[in-house]
A and B are shown apart, each in its own frame.
Chain A
Amino acid sequence: MSSRPSTIAERLIDDLSARAPQHSRDADLAIEAHGLVKHFGDIHAVNGIDLRVRPGQVFGFLGQNGSGKTTTVRMLTTLLRPTDGTARVAGFDVLNQDRQVRRAVGVALQEAGLDILQTGRELLRLQSRLYNVPRGEIEDRIAHLLEVVDLTDDADRRIGGYSGGMQRRLDLASALVHSPPIIFLDEPTTGLDPVSRQNLWEYIQRLNREDGVTFFLTTQYLEEADQLCDEIAILDAGEIVQQGTPDGLKATVSVDVIYVQVEGDEQAQQRAVSALLPLPNVEDAQWDYNEGVAIYSKSGHDTLPRVVRTLDDESLPFSNLRLARATLDDVFFKATGHRIEPADQTAPTTGGGAG
């Protein structure tokens, strides 16, 4: 409440906007966040995130483990109180209207949160009741969902006997019992086999296309973000470092990338990078442990021979020279300074000043 409005007209407008139903203010946004911050003591998990997700979008959060994806999801779904900032989901404030938020969203967290002593059907039934699904509709709804996630035959077995993939599918079904307009999926396909992953993608796309469901998903798979998302935010050390459509993001990286493995220690790599950076058309050059030196160029064909010549001049032996189109991987690398490392591959990385 800053200065008092002076004219009658101003006061009237003030009064009207104060009385207007709160959700009408940003009715066209499914998810909205301003300056979202979460600190756990000294650990700054999320450092000021702004979000605007429109209804019907599939919005992806791309980042490594520890980049703040899960923390953000937990704040948006009312499980965690932000240290600072505000967020509205389905038009409701996540702090003061938490129950309305929970009613409007379906959530499947990273670890399938299930009770192993119940059967799949019992779990869905309890879930339906807690979401106040009308009694007469519960059994039909459950039967439909079980079919969708391909668990009809196992519905009356205890969850403890389910495989990891089955548990994830059941977890997803449990997020859908109340047909929510907004669904949060935290790394939905991590640990799934390729077939299940493909099925899940298709299901997400179908729900999005046919029912207009908004998705907010986090992933550490570039391919997943590329395939599914209308918009991607790259998250690193608790901040959004790059955001846009998959194609738009790829366009921010120069059209071509030249990869080359320079032999020698880290010093040799750095020497190569410094020598290559000034070449014409080269926008950036970076080195990382897995991919070697990556040179981003507006014109790969022009740059390629110059790379060879420069490395020769510097007496740096090299191998595996190749030219490629930019991928999301390159966008990610350029934005964060490191390659994305899914949790199940733990190769060491260097480079990147991710605090």
Chain B
Amino acid sequence: MTTAQAPSELQTSASREAGPLQVLTDARHLAVRAIRESVRQPGVEITNVFIPLFFLAVSTGAIANFSERGFGVENYLAFQLPVAVLQAVAGSSAASGIAIVLDMERGYFDKLLLTPASRWSLIIGRVWADAVRAIFFATIMLVAALVAGSGMATGVPGAILILIIAGLFGGAYSGIGIFIAMRTGNAQAAQAGFLLFFPLLFMAPAFAPLAVFDDWLRIIATINPVTYIMEGMRGLVMEGYAWPVTEGGQIVFGPDGLPLTKDPPALHWAFVSLAGFSAFTLTIAALALRSRTRAD
């Protein structure tokens, strides 16, 4: 990892053997192993299905009857669907941190570090596996909500977009667990990675639209990236596509300097937020891995 100082001759031989392709190949093998790990302990994964479905059911049961009168949401099940998806995804991705700590405790992490595989492939493999698992759990939430009558305004393409967003969110969220695992090597701390999800999810328009929030909560929600990810998915479920308004191939900007969009929450902000969120989580994860494998 200090190739910058290595003679050029070594650098070329190292990059030939450990180029980005090799990193991805190694990451894929590690991702397959991580997914196998989940498949072989379904008991651990069942909570990732049960808890969000439970919340979906009780929140809809409690609020659906007055949501229209209360804040103008007619189809509260559809309103809640993105929350269930994000909750399931965060739950499953947080488990990666714990899995890494277990690997450390069992000495398997050392065994992986002893292979010539790039350190980055250890992270990318986990992120990759979490993205796949995220899509799996998001599919269960989608199917359950559709069966219960949530509807899907954008049809199959919209559902696929939701799964893509879920996968990206899962990969991004996995960075938090990896960061905690690398930093602490402690299973309890890694477990707490899931708790971070509560402020992220509930300081966002999870139960009601932003418009009815108290000022303090609305301000927090406005800077919370999950707000935009949630709203983007919600638009796909409830209203339709909301890409920026364009005129002659040019994005039209509103008076506030932001791209003008149609009524539903703007989908592109979901992707912008995802990019920012994952850049942050994966950077801290990478830095934590680096300091762990370098210093010790």
Contacts and interface: CB of A to CB of B under 8 A. Distances in A.
Interface in A155-209: 158, 171, 174
B33 A115 contact: yes
Contacts of B14: 99-100
A127 B17 CA distance: 17
B5 interface: yes
Given A113-B107, A117-B40, A132 B116 contact: yes
Contacts of A112: 107
Interface in A44-103: 77-81, 95-100, 102-103
Contacts of A79: 110, 113-114, 296
Give chain A's interface residue range (CB within 8 Å of chain B): 20 to 34
A126 B112 CA distance: 10
Interface string B230-272: 0000000000000000000000000000000000000000000
B115 A131 contact: yes
B112 A130 contact: yes
A107 B114 CA distance: 7
B69 interface: no
A113 B108 contact: yes
Interface in B1-60: 1-2, 5-6, 10, 14, 17-18, 22, 25-26, 29-30, 33, 36-37, 40-41
Contacts of B112: 130
Interface string A112-155: 11111110001000110111100000000000000000000000
A111 interface: yes
A97 to B, nearest CB: 7
A107 B108 CA distance: 12
B291 to A, nearest CB: 11
Interface in B86-104: 103
Contacts of A111: 106-107
A158 B26 CA distance: 22
A97 B103 contact: no
A80 B110 CA distance: 11
Interface residues of B, number: 34
A109 interface: yes
Contact of B116 (A80, A96, A116, A131): A131
B5 to A, nearest CB: 7
Contacts of B2: 95-96
Contacts of A115: 33, 37, 103, 106, 108
Contacts, number: 81
B107 A114 contact: yes
A57 B21 CA distance: 37
Contacts of B6: 96-97
A81 B117 CA distance: 18
A82 to B, nearest CB: 11
Contacts of B17: 99, 132
B202 interface: no
B295 interface: yes
Contact of A109 (B103, B107, B116, B295): B107
A278 to B, nearest CB: 50
Given A122-B36, A130-B29, A102 B114 contact: yes
Nearest to B37: A117
B27 to A, nearest CB: 10
Interface of B: 1-2, 5-6, 10, 14, 17-18, 22, 25-26, 29-30, 33, 36-37, 40-41, 103, 106-117, 294-296
11 contacts: A96-B2, A102-B115, A113-B107, A113-B109, A127-B111, A129-B25, A130-B30, A130-B115, A130-B116, A131-B116, A132-B17
Given A113-B109, A129-B26, 15 more contacts: A78-B114, A79-B296, A81-B294, A81-B296, A95-B2, A99-B17, A100-B14, A107-B114, A112-B107, A113-B107, A113-B111, A114-B107, A114-B108, A116-B106, A118-B33
